[in-house]
Amino acid sequence: MKKDILNNLMNDNGADAVLLHSPQNRLWFTRFSSSLGYVLFSKNKTYLLIDGRYHTMAIESKELINVDEIINMNNASKQINELIQKLNIKKMIIESDWVYVNQFDSWSKIFKAKLIKTDTSKIRMIKDQWEIDQIRKACDITNLVFEKVLKNIKIGMSELEIARFVSNQFLELGAQKLSFDTIVASGEMNGSMPHATPSNRTIKEGDFVTLDMGCYVNGYCSDQTRTFAIGETINPKLIDIYQTVLESQQKGISALKEGISSGDIHKICFDYIESKGYGEYFTHGTGHGLGIEIHEEPYNAKNQTEILRAGMTVTVEPGIYIPGLGGVRIEDDLLVTKDGFEYLTTARRELIHIKG
Ligand SMILES: [Mn+2]
């Protein structure tokens, strides 16, 4: 399937090879992770060029797929150019969304093939079953961490302490690493900033706390946000915001299926929030694709026109943030299917009150 995607890319661009340089596209195609390396994909044969730090690891790897020959890389440009000549490559695709300008200039001088600058940011949009399984595993760990947070959080804990607790739990439960720095945003001030950095602020009765977190499993990530209440005495305006965000999210999720445009998912969520009078407080896009990267194509955001297809994995995460009052965001990861969607994240969505 991935070979088909690269073959189509070559045909669309009249090329006879693809050079993958970005860590995310190399991991996607080969399931082998390394900071540096190259995949040279041609009509008949695929080469992985990898330096001494990874060479043995690549040879011994049980996960490696789609590679015919592993080359010990010591002079990448020279070795790639030798392959270009040996395989008689005339036109080679390079990743215009990743390769630096100075790298391109140098390759243009050295390589005996015409370089076709091609945007590859959409080649990973549709996930295969193995990829979906890894994302699901990451989401399952995320739910376990969320339940641990709910059990262990106490009035007087700081946002930073909660973030540290989250990090430890992810690693103890078998995550490879966190997929991004955990966001813990509590109260009137931090809660009203969508991507607040955890601070020394301690949580207190009446707070809304927004927790945005995720982890990696086998190179694939999860991304989940929940807002919960501390105690029972909550400003009714916050309760109203919560219900509005939840209903907006449910409307957006229910609309997911093959054939709808990513921009429409945003519009459905936004229009509902606007109809309740909170339009000016929903200041970001509704969601994004996720997989090897935490934010990747397609984007469920304003003016986006990508048509969602079965196998895409996306978030739906509307929010409302009111300075001086606080904020709410509810985020799930979803698999788009032919007839609808499946939840990948499973954490409870109704408003949870924590007894401090
Ligand atoms: Mn997200």
How many Å from the N-terminal Cα to the C-terminal Cα in the chain?
Answer: 51
Residue 174: predicted pLDDT: 97
Angle at the Cα of 16 from the Cα atoms of 11 and 17, rounded to 5 degrees: 110
Q: Which two tokens stand for residue 178?
A: 């966190």
Angle at the Cα of 54 from the Cα atoms of 51 and 55, rounded to 5 degrees: 70
Ranges assigned E (strand) in 10-109: 17-20, 38-42, 46-50, 69-72, 91-95
Angle at the Cα of 286 from the Cα atoms of 182 and 213, rounded to 5 degrees: 15
CA of 329 to the centre of ligand 1 (A): 10
**Per-position pLDDT tens, the chain of length 356:** 899 999 999 999 999 999 999 999 999 999 999 999 999 999 989 999 999 999 999 999 999 999 999 999 999 999 999 999 999 999 999 999 999 999 999 999 999 999 999 999 999 999 999 999 999 999 999 999 999 999 999 999 999 999 999 999 999 999 999 999 999 999 999 999 988 899 999 999 999 999 999 999 999 999 999 999 999 999 999 999 999 999 999 999 999 999 999 999 999 999 999 999 999 999 999 999 999 999 999 999 999 999 999 999 999 999 999 999 999 999 999 999 999 999 999 999 999 999 86
Query: Would you call 284 helix, strand, or coil by DSSP?
Result: coil
CA of 86 to the centre of ligand 1 (A): 45
CA of 301 to the centre of ligand 1 (A): 12
Question: For 348, which DSSP code?
Answer: -
Residue 101: predicted pLDDT: 97
CA of 35 to the centre of ligand 1 (A): 24
Q: State the Cα–Cα distance between residues 53 and 251, nearest whole angstrom.
A: 49
CA of 102 to the centre of ligand 1 (A): 32
CA of 295 to the centre of ligand 1 (A): 7
Kindly list the structural domains of the chain, giving each domain's residue range(s) and its CATH number in brackets, ordered by start: 2-118 (3.40.350.10), 129-354 (3.90.230.10)
Nearest to 312 by CA among 334, 293, 332, 330: 334
CA of 28 to the centre of ligand 1 (A): 20
CA of 180 to the centre of ligand 1 (A): 10
CA of 87 to the centre of ligand 1 (A): 42
CA of 287 to the centre of ligand 1 (A): 6
CA of 236 to the centre of ligand 1 (A): 27
Nearest to 135 by CA among 298, 289, 23: 289
CA of 317 to the centre of ligand 1 (A): 7
CA of 52 to the centre of ligand 1 (A): 36
CA of 109 to the centre of ligand 1 (A): 41
CA of 90 to the centre of ligand 1 (A): 41
Residue 195: predicted pLDDT: 86
Nearest to 310 by CA among 260, 252, 344: 260
CA of 132 to the centre of ligand 1 (A): 17
Residue 304: predicted pLDDT: 96
CA of 294 to the centre of ligand 1 (A): 7
SS (H, E, C) 92-154: EEEECCCCCHHHHHHHHHHCCCEEEEECCCCCCCECCHHHHHHHHHHHHHHHHHHHHHHHHCC
CA of 207 to the centre of ligand 1 (A): 22
Nearest to 83 by CA among 38, 125, 53: 38
Question: For 42, which DSSP code?
Answer: E
CA of 223 to the centre of ligand 1 (A): 5
CA of 44 to the centre of ligand 1 (A): 39
The secondary element (H helix, E strand) that includes residue 85 is helix 76-86
